[in-house]
Amino acid sequence: MHAAAAAREAAVAAAPFDPVADYDVRQPALPALDATSRARLIPVLSCLGLEPAAPGTLLIANVAGYAHYDGPQLEAQGQAGFASGDALTLEREPDNPRDPLAVRILWQGAHLGHVPRAESAEIARRLDRGEPLVCRLLRYTPAAAAWRKIEFVIAEGK
Domains: count for the chain? 1
Nearest to 93 by CA among 113, 108, 73: 113
Q: Give the CATH number for residue 146.
A: 3.30.70.2330
Mean pLDDT estimate for the chain: 85
Q: Is the pLDDT of residue 112 over 90?
A: yes
Confidence of residue 39 (pLDDT cuts 50, 70, 90): confident
**SS3 for 18?**
coil
CA 18, 23, 25 angle in degrees (round to 5)?
Answer: 135
Is 108 a member of any domain?
Answer: yes
Beta pairing partners, 91 = 104
Q: Is the pLDDT of residue 25 over 70?
A: no
